[in-house]
Structure formats: C-alpha cells, structure tokens
Structure 1
C-alpha cells in the first residue's frame, strides 16, 4: 500500500464554503477551549502535589523540600540548552493536538486544511501573550504572568514554555500555512498571468500574508538574547543592554506580525483583538504581583 498526499484542489459550492467556514470557527473554539482545560489540569496537579499530607512529620516535610537531582525529563536534551526534555515533549504533544485538529474533518480539501493550519495557530496567540513576562525590562522581570498565577508555575518555567511554544507550535503551523498556500498559487494557472501566484502577489491580502510569514521567521531567528544568529555581533555590549534590545525588537516584530495577520484575513481579527486584550490583562497581572 503506497502512501500519497491526501489533500487535493477541489471545487466547492457556496453551501460547502459556509460549512467549511463554520468548521474553522469550531476548530478555533476547540483549540482555545483545550487551553482552559490544560490550565485547570495543571493547577489541580500542582495543588495536589504541593499539599503536604496531614500526617507528615516536620522532619519529613523538610527533607521533601531539599533540592533533588534533576531527572532525565527535567534536563535539557543538549548541554547548554535552556529548555528541558519535558518542556519539549509537552510542546510537541500540543503541536500534534493542533495538527490533528487541523486534519479533523478536512477531507481531501487542500485549501480547507491549509486554512485550518493558520486558524488554529492564530487561536493560540492569546495564550502565548498570557505566558509572556510583561515586565521584562523592569527591575522585577520575573513578575508572574497570568498563566503563572493561574497554574502556580514559576514564571521562569513559564518563560521556557513561552519560547518553545512560539518556536515549536505557533511558528511551524503558520509557516506551513504560508507554504501550502504559496504552493497552491504557484500550481494554479491564470488566463492573464504566468500563474495564479503572479496575479495574487499583487493583492494586498497576499502581501500582508507574506509579511506575516516573514515576521514569524524573524521571531524564530531572534528567539532570545542568549542564542542569536552568529552574524549578530554584540561586541562588549553589557548583558542588560542586550536583553533590552532583544525585548524591544521582539515586541516590534510581534507587533508587525499581528498587524499583518489582522490585515491579511478578516477571520484572524478576533484572535488579534484577543491577543491585544490579553496583553493588557497580562501587564496588569505582572504589575499587581511584582
């Protein structure tokens, strides 16, 4: 039995287009609903694991608090890396869940699957914002984010998930969305141009989409100040200055990304507006708990 690409270019009726539109909205709802479920489960797990048994003696409680050797899961996969195997595994599992959600009920419709990838990716932007250290440039950069407060997970650990979530979950889905759409345009003909791509590249929505994909790539390349491209030469610039420059550039890139996504397609606007509201909420939370 040979494996073949399961999605193809298909022609759909207006009724089928509406059905697919509703499916995309349902995917976004499921993707965001699963975030709430995950946060509740993490909170319950931390609450149950941190509660000391009533019969536990003081000496046992003190010994339980002593630092223990990190397990294989809680160690980085490569020496010098910041994130742990556990964090990589959880983010990859979440990527698998969102990918499965994109495949769900897509049938053989290439464009529907392509749109689903972008839709579920953008639905995760509010979570990404709620994990971010809003007061990164303040005297207390470790102030807890909304996700840190809700889950009782320390902000330094949330920062690791924030970085990985952007690199391993949101970015691959958005880049795949852009690649598949570009492939469709290149393979489709147009009576007045060499290809549909040659025609659509002149349209503002496609130009905004390319800008958004470029910003996603930039976010991945400039992941954190400790690991920058080799061609970026800091010289003798102090670490604090490097962190400030990184943060400003990172926020600007994300801002352009969200502007491009907002202008690219109307269905993305709800998630962009949610991310703006999440940013205000997260800043307030960090300020209150600093």
Structure 2
C-alpha cells in the first residue's frame, strides 16, 4: 500500500485555509468531551423518567419475601422490562470487570478505543494528503485534550468530573492514565513525522537549534519520563520518584509548550489555569491540626486521633467510609511533603480517628517514627474528606440486604459503613434488614483495635459480624520496648471477649467465599437490590467479585463497590 501523504507546495491562500482547518479541528478536539457528558446526562434523565413512570408502579405489584427463590433468567415470570434490566445489569458488570489480570477494567479499554478512534478521525479527516497538515493536525488535536487531562487529575472533592459522574478521584484515575497515554502517543507520532520531514528535506542540521525544535524535544522527553514513571512498577515501588516527576513535569510542561507553537497556547493556558485552580482549591480544603499518634496492634498499626471542631468534623460524619490525604505539617527542609490516602476509621463531634498499617511509604514511615517518640501530639496536615462515600445510596432503604467484606486494614473503610447502616435503621424507625460483615485478618491483635474507639460496632438483630483469623496467635512485630497499647496477650484477649459479647464470631483460617456468598444470596429474589462492598487486598477483591459474578449471571440485582488504595 503506497504512503498516502506527500510533501505539497501550498499557495498563500491554501496555507491560510490550512491554518483555519487546524484551528477548527483543534477546537473540535477541545470541546468534544462535552458530547459524552451531554449523552450521560440524557441517559440519566431518561432513567429518571423511566423510574418515575414505570418503576414505582411495578413496585406495588412486587411482593418481597425472605423465602423467595430466583426463577432463573429465562423464566416466564420475568417481564420484558425485567429482562431488559437484567441484561443491563449483566452488561454493566461485564464492563466493570478486568480485561485480564492487571490490565484494567473493560470500561477503560472500551472508552479508550472509542476516544482514540475519534481523535484519529479529527487528526486525519480532510487533510488532502498533505504531509505537513497531517503532522500539525495530530499535534493540535492531542494538545487540545490536555485541559481534559488536567481536569481528570483534579483531586479536589468538587472537581467537575467527580461531581458529574458521582465518583471519587480514585475511580477517575484509570481514565486519566489512559488519556495520558493517548495524548503521548499522538505527540510522539507528531515528533516522528516532523523528524522524518527534516531528514527528507535535508534541513535537520539547520533547524536543530530552533526554538520550536528545542522545546519540542524537551516536551517529548518530559512526556516520555512521565509515562515511564506512571507505570505500576515505578508507581508502587518508587512512589517518591513518581510523585516528584508528576509534580515537576506536570507543572512545567505547559510552560514549555507555550513556547513551542503559538497556535497551541490557548489549550496550554487552559491546562495551566486548571492546574493552578486545582492547587488553590486543594490548599483551601486542607488544614493543619495537632494529633495524637500512638502505636497499636503490637506495632503493626498506628492510631491517629485528631481533635476537630464540630464544623470541621461534620463532612466526615456525613460520609462514613471516606478517606483523607495525610502529610507532616512541618517537614524538614530536606523532606518533600508527600501525602498518602488513609480511611477515616471513626468520626464524631470531637474529631476523627485513623488506623494505619505500617508500610514502607514515606508518610507512614515518618508517622511510625513519631508514634514511638517522647511527644504524643504532632502537627499533621489533612486534606479531605475524599472518596465515593458521599455518593453512596441509603443502604437501609435502597437495599434488601448488604454484604460487607474487609481484608486486614480494609476494615477501617468497612466498619464505618456498617455502623452507618445500623444507625440508619434506628433513625428511620425500621426493622433491620440482613447485614453481614466478614473481616479477614491475621491475628486477634489486628482486630482488637475496633474496641479502642468510642464507636459501637455491635452486631444488631438481623446482622452478623464474622472474623476469620489467618495468622498464628502469637504473631507480632513490636516496634520497640515503648509499645504497650494493645500489646499484651491479656489486653488482646479481653478485647476479643468484649467483641464476642457484642455479637462477633471468631474462626481460624480463610473464609470459603463461595459458601459465604451463596448463603447470603440464597434467600434474595432477583428483584431485590443487594449491596456488596469490599475493601482489602486485590486477591480478595478479585475472588469475591468472581463469586458474586455468578449471581449477576443469574440475574441478581447487585450494587457493587470496591476500594483498592492502601
């Protein structure tokens, strides 16, 4: 197949026409994200109208029973509307599942492929086989996507995408990474085409030190470093490098591109303004506060208790299961103020409590050192609350039953949600619906901290809390001789006895997830909405999703949420 593009000599009128086409397609790329937004809003409006018109009427005809048995997806008992709902649920579940282990969700891949196809159309349409036109078009289409990329990186809880789609920053990040790779690929194609142009026309030496080429090379190298340090291997093992590179290059790249080409400046300025607004809003949402930092669970955990005013603690109390970004408020001059996300284990009018697992990150290592220092109060910087919790439905009224599963420190996310469900039953004067909480932990000491807060985690009527201990009874890793809290076997045993009196059950070994899921769903009919929440290691989340997926295939109405960061 012959090469479709050629070096074409253009008249002044053709050059002007090409310039107008470049600006037009650049603008189309810049505003095209509005199309899926409008489509999404239209779908939500249509769903709301359908619910108002049909669903409420259908509810009056459905008789719920604790002993109802699912008739099967092909049963005549299912109406056409219910079959459509079952198909939609299966499709949404399929989209939210991984393509392959470690390759991300299908929804991200589908969105990426569709968006790449659209950007390629904008890059190639009506270019009249003009090589230079195609080369410039690819660049302006790619750079016009940068404002969307910076919006997707916004961590502020009121960012446009988070508000529009009612999701957390963590749920937007996979799309942010995918869009970054698309932009990078288009920019590298632009650079390769221009390099070929310079070589073919024998002008490489003449233009090598021009401003456009120098800034283009700097941009290409910077983008390559961004992409390499954004890979999961670097991001997880060398988080400091990832953080520094993202912060420095993400802030400096717009300034370099402004000098690269004048016609890109409007989109680069948009991106830079979004970056500055995000930084200002995050600074406004953060504050410094003295907090008590103490070791827990034989030194494997760190407890942070931060006193807050009633106004400061109100957003945390309204969103159980939220998380914050935590950093040292006054790091030394040689330290970079890194921040890391941690779930809020408890929130009340007096403040919040966080329970952190001692890992290798820079923030947790500093906090671990402070926990065994002579001073108990330390100044910390807090940013939040963040997360999907503020968009959660009302579990007491919207679901017939709820299944909550936590692995290890993931209970800091699940326990507040469990407690809020019990509180909703009480506040709304309604009989409790089945709520099952399964906690997989290593030792009794890893669970005993649940009794050290003012929160009541008792298993109420219709609810159960099952703890599975997978480690050895005497397994411990004390920090040093200063560790006393929850450190003795007597203290741990006393706290375990208290939990058992509160309705908790303890067992050794790992739970049989298939049996747990089947027992829980056995008495739920296909029309009953069921909530499933999980927070823990990826292996636990993956295994649970596989078991729950069998019931989705049978037509079960399941609302699923998973938390991953840790």
Q: Give the TM interval when normalised to the shorter protein.
A: 0.7 to 0.9
Match of 2:105 in 1: 84
Match of 1:170 in 2: 183
Paired residue secondary structure (1:10) = coil
1:105-144 matched pairs, under 5 angstroms = 105-134=126-155, 143-144=157-158
Match of 2:56 in 1: 54
CA distance in 2, matches of 1:99, 1:285: 34
Q: After TM superposition, give the deviation of residue 282 of structure 1 in Å.
A: 4.0
Match of 1:161 in 2: 175
Match of 1:193 in 2: none
Match of 2:160 in 1: 146
The answer as to 2:270 corresponding to 1:274 is yes
Match of 2:120 in 1: 99
CA distance in 1, matches of 2:48, 2:180: 29
Match of 2:233 in 1: 227
Q: After TM superposition, give the deviation of residue 7 of structure 1 in Å.
A: 0.5
Match of 1:238 in 2: none
CA distance in 2, matches of 1:34, 1:250: 26
Match of 2:214 in 1: 207
Q: After TM superposition, give the deviation of residue 284 of structure 1 in Å.
A: 5.9
Contact 1:145 / 1:285 at 8 angstroms: preserved in 2?
no
1:251-266 matched pairs, under 5 angstroms = 251-266=247-262
Match of 2:25 in 1: 27
CA distance in 2, matches of 1:152, 1:134: 14
CA distance in 2, matches of 1:144, 1:77: 30
Larger helix share, 1 or 2: 1
Change (3 A) 1:208 1:171: same
The answer as to 2:199 corresponding to 1:186 is yes
- Greater relative contact order (CA < 8 Å, ≥ 6 in sequence): 1
Match of 1:247 in 2: 243
Match of 1:73 in 2: 95
Paired residue secondary structure (1:176) = helix
CA displacement, residues 125-160 of structure 1 (integer Å, 9 cap, x when unaligned):
11111111335xxxxxxx352212123344322111
CA distance in 2, matches of 1:150, 1:160: 17
Contact 1:129 / 1:275 at 8 angstroms: preserved in 2?
yes
Q: After TM superposition, give the deviation of residue 283 of structure 1 in Å.
A: 4.7
Larger strand share, 1 or 2: 2
Contact 2:251 / 2:272 at 8 angstroms: preserved in 1?
no
Contact 1:132 / 1:145 at 8 angstroms: preserved in 2?
no
Q: After TM superposition, give the deviation of residue 13 of structure 1 in Å.
A: 1.3
Aligned residues: 258
Please point out which of 7, 10, 13 is paired with 2:8.
10
Change (3 A) 1:36 1:282: farther
Q: Give the RMSD, CA atoms, in angstroms.
A: 2.9
CA distance in 2, matches of 1:50, 1:80: 35
* TM-score for the superposition, normalised by structure 2: 0.42
Match of 2:293 in 1: none
Gaps in structure 2 of 5+ consecutive residues = 65-84, 286-383, 386-566
Contact 1:146 / 1:282 at 8 angstroms: preserved in 2?
no
Change (3 A) 1:45 1:11: same
Paired residue secondary structure (1:249) = helix
Gaps in structure 1 of 5+ consecutive residues = 136-142, 190-195, 235-241
CA displacement, residues 27-76 of structure 1 (integer Å, 9 cap, x when unaligned):
01211221112122223334544784333549999xx9xxx887333222
Q: After TM superposition, give the deviation of residue 228 of structure 1 in Å.
A: 1.7
